[in-house]
Structure 1
Amino acid sequence: MNDIGTHAAEQPKQGDSTGLDLLACVRAATAAPSLHNSQPWRFRIAARTVDVYADPRRQLEVLDPAGRELLISVGAAVFTLRLAIRGAGHLSDLKLFPVAAEPDLVARVSVGRPMAPTPAAEALVAAIPHRHTNRWPFARSVVPADAVERLADAARREGATLTVANPVSRTTILNLSQEADRVLRSKGLYRAELARWTSPREGRGDGVPMTAVGPWDALEILPIRDFGLLQPRLDRAAAEFEPYPTIMVLSTDGDTRRDWVSAGQALQRVLLTATWQNLSTTPISQPVEIPAVRRLLTDIRAGRWAQMVLRVGYGRPATATPRRPLAEVLLPDDWEEP
C-alpha cells in the first residue's frame, strides 16, 4: 500500500481555501478504535491544521495506568485523520508532541499540497466505516500468505513490526493471554471499570454495547474480553471459536510516548488493510496490560516492544460501536489547556 502523506454540539462546516472539509476529516478520525471504545481524543481545527489532543479524563486507570493504550488509541485517530486528508486529495505533514509545554497535545496535522489520492489510499478510506472489532468465531480457513504480508507491510510503513506467531509461539501467546485475563478478572477494580464501559443504555455515544460483545468461547482458547462479566452467563450463548487462530504481535523499536502513538498509527493502518481484504480482526490487549506478561512478549535485545496482540481471520460481519457527536470532541479555537 502506498504512503498516504508525509510525516514530520456539531460545529459549522470548516474548510480551507482549497475547499478541503477538515470537519469531515475529523469526523472520519473519530471512527478509529480505542480501548473499551473510550474515544480518548479531542480535536481543534484551524485554517489548515488540526491539533489532536489526548483526553486524560477518558483514561482507564486500572487497565492503563501509564496511558500507553490511551496514546495508541489517539495514534489510531491521528492516522485516520491523515488518511482522510489524503483521500480528500491533499498530502499532510505530521508533528508529534509539537509543544513541549502541552503534553496532551499529541499531534499537529497540517494540510499539504494538493495531490490526487492513489487507489490504495482510496481503498483504505473506503474501509474506515467498515472496520469493526469482531468478537465472534472466525472460519477455520487459513489466512493467505500474501494477505499476511500486506498486513506486515502496513505496519512497516508506520514504523512498527507485525510478526505472525508460528504454532509453538501461538500456543504460548494464547496461554499467556488466558493467564493475563484471569489476573485481570480477579481484580474488583477491573470488574468495576469494565462495567462502567459496558452499558445497555440506549443512545450512549461511547463504550461497548452488548450487541458487540459476542459469544463465549466454548473451547476456552481465546481470551475474548468479557464485557458481559457482570451479566449472567446464561444470557450469552457459547460457540466454538477457531482452534488454530492466526495471531500476530505488533511491536515498536522503543517504548516511549512517541512509540505508543506510532503503534496506534500502525495498528489502524493494519486494521484498515485487513478490512480492505475482507478480513476480520480482534485486538487482544490483555497480555500487554499485565507488565510481567508483556515483558515475556517483548524482545528488548531485538528492539521490539510488544504493543498489541491481534487475531485475524475471516468472520461474520461485526456490529458497529457508537461514536460521540463531534460537539463533544471539538475544541474551540481559543481553548487553552488548563
Structure 2
Amino acid sequence: MRTQALLDAATVESLLAAAVAAPSIHNTQPWRFRPDFANQVLEVRSAPERTLPLTDPMHRAQYLSVGAAVFNLRLAALHLGRRPEVRLLPDPDEPGLLAAVRLTGPHGADDRPSDPGLHQAIAQRHTSRTPFTGRPVPEPIVAEMTAAAHAAGARLHVPDIAGTRRLLRLTATAEARNRAHPARIAETRTWITVPGSDVPYGIPLTALGPQDAGRRIPMRDFTGALPAFRRPAVWFERHVQLGLLWTPHDRRVDWLRAGEALQYVLLTATARGLRTSFLNQAMEWPDLRAATALAGHKRCHPHVLIRFGYGRDGARTPRGLG
C-alpha cells in the first residue's frame, strides 16, 4: 500500500507562508523555493537577482536571511505535526541550493523548538523603526533569548553599558561611511518602494522610521538622510539594549545557522512582548565588523546587532511567496 505523501500542495503553501515572513536585508527576500514532490523535498535556493553587490558583496547577509526563512520552515512543519529534516548546503555541486527540507513523519515530544508561541510569533514579528521605552527587559527573558541562539548553533552576547556604547560608536562610524558613499546610498534607495506600489519586496516608504535628530541611535541610512523624503525628527531611547549574534566559525554554513539562530532569538523576543530591530551598518564594512568582535575571543565572528525593548509594533513590509 502506498504511503500518503507528507509534502503536498497544501502543506507547501503553509510552509511558504511562514518562510517568507522571515526578515531579510532591505526586505530583498533573497530566496527561492522549489517543491520536489517526487522526492518529498522542499528546496530553498538563493535569488541572485536580489543581491546587494556593495552592501553585501560576500552574500553573508543573504545567507542570514535564508537561514531565518529555514527556521520558519522548521516551525511551520512542527506546527503541522510533521518532523522536518533539514540539510544545509546539501549539494556541493549546486552552490545556489542552500537548504533542503524533508518531512520525515509525525514529530515527537523531543522535537525542538516546542514552544507553540513561537509559531504564532512568526506573524507578529515585525522590525520596529520607532523609539522604544526606557523599560529594561527582565533578565529571564534575556536569558531565554541567549539560550535560543545557543540552541541554534550561535551565541548571543548582551553587552554592558560600556560595551553598548562601543558598538554604537562603530555603528555611527559605519553610517558616516555609508553617507559618504554615493553608490551605496543609490543601492539602498533602489529598494525603497513608493506608496501604492504592489511590489512584494523592498522597504515601503511608509514603513521607514523617523529621523534620529539626536544621533543617540544611528539607524539605517534610509531612515535618516533622504532629503526627498523629509520626516519629523524624534529622539530614540536613551538606554539602548543590544545583543550581538556571533558564531565560532565564518563559513557559509555558519551564516545559515546564524540566520536560524537570529530568527529563533527574534521570535522568542516577540513571544515575550518585545520589539526588535537591527543595527547592521558596522557588519557591512570588514574592518568594523572585525572590531565588533568580543575582546579575548579569537573565534568570535559577528553577524548582526539586535536592538530590543518595549515599544510600538513595527510596520508590516510586503511579502511574496518566493
- After superposition, residues 233-252 of structure 1 pair within 5 angstroms as 235-252=230-247
CA distance in 1, matches of 2:113, 2:291: 40
Q: Is the 8 A contact 1:72 1:261 kept in 2?
A: yes
**In structure 2, do the counterparts of structure 1 residues 132 and 99 end up closer, same or farther at CA, with 3 Å as the change threshold?**
same
Partner of 1:61: 53
CA distance in 2, matches of 1:183, 1:17: 50
Q: Quick one: which amino acid aligns to residue 5 of structure 2?
A: D
Cα deviation, residue 36, structure 1: 0.1
Q: Quick one: which amino acid aligns to residue 170 of structure 2?
A: L
Q: Quick one: which amino acid aligns to residue 127 of structure 2?
A: T
Identify which range, 114-123 or 21-30, moves more after superposition. Answer: 114-123
Q: Is the 8 A contact 1:213 1:227 kept in 2?
A: yes
Q: Is the 8 A contact 2:144 2:268 kept in 1?
A: yes
Q: Is the 8 A contact 1:132 1:320 kept in 2?
A: yes
Q: Is the 8 A contact 2:210 2:224 kept in 1?
A: no
SS in 2 for 1:16: coil
Partner of 1:293: 288
CA distance in 2, matches of 1:136, 1:94: 35
CA distance in 2, matches of 1:278, 1:52: 30
**In structure 2, do the counterparts of structure 1 residues 256 and 182 end up closer, same or farther at CA, with 3 Å as the change threshold?**
same
- After superposition, residues 157-236 of structure 1 pair within 5 angstroms as 157-201=151-195, 202-228=197-223, 231-232=226-227, 235-236=230-231
Q: Quick one: which amino acid aligns to residue 51 of structure 1?
A: E
Partner of 1:273: 268
- After superposition, residues 298-337 of structure 1 pair within 5 angstroms as 298-299=293-294, 301-324=297-320, 326=321, 329=322
CA distance in 2, matches of 1:203, 1:161: 38
Q: Is the 8 A contact 1:151 1:274 kept in 2?
A: yes
1:83 pairs with 2:75? yes
Q: Is the 8 A contact 2:211 2:224 kept in 1?
A: no
Could you report, residue by residue, the CA deviation over 1:5-25 in whole angstroms, capped at 9, with x for unpaired residues?
Answer: xxxxxxxxxx93587712211
Partner of 2:123: 129
SS in 2 for 1:295: helix
Partner of 2:24: 34
TM-score computed with the length of structure 1 as normaliser: 0.88
Q: Is the 8 A contact 1:210 1:228 kept in 2?
A: no
- Give ranges in structure 1 of 5+ residues lacking alignment: 1-14, 330-338
Identify which range, 129-138 or 217-226, moves more after superposition. Answer: 217-226
SS in 2 for 1:165: coil
Alignment partner for residue 109 of structure 1, among 92, 101, 113? 101
SS in 1 for 2:85: strand
Alignment partner for residue 152 of structure 1, among 126, 146, 157? 146
Identify which range, 262-271 or 112-121, moves more after superposition. Answer: 112-121
Cα deviation, residue 228, structure 1: 4.7
Cα deviation, residue 304, structure 1: 1.5
- Give ranges in structure 2 of 5+ residues lacking alignment: none
**In structure 2, do the counterparts of structure 1 residues 289 and 119 end up closer, same or farther at CA, with 3 Å as the change threshold?**
closer
Superposition RMSD on alpha carbons, in Å?
1.9
Could you report, residue by residue, the CA deviation over 1:83-132 in whole angstroms, capped at 9, with x for unpaired residues?
Answer: 11011111111111111110010001110220367894321110111111
Q: Quick one: which amino acid aligns to residue 42 of structure 2?
A: V
Cα deviation, residue 219, structure 1: 1.8
TM-score computed with the length of structure 2 as normaliser: 0.92
Q: Is the 8 A contact 1:159 1:266 kept in 2?
A: yes
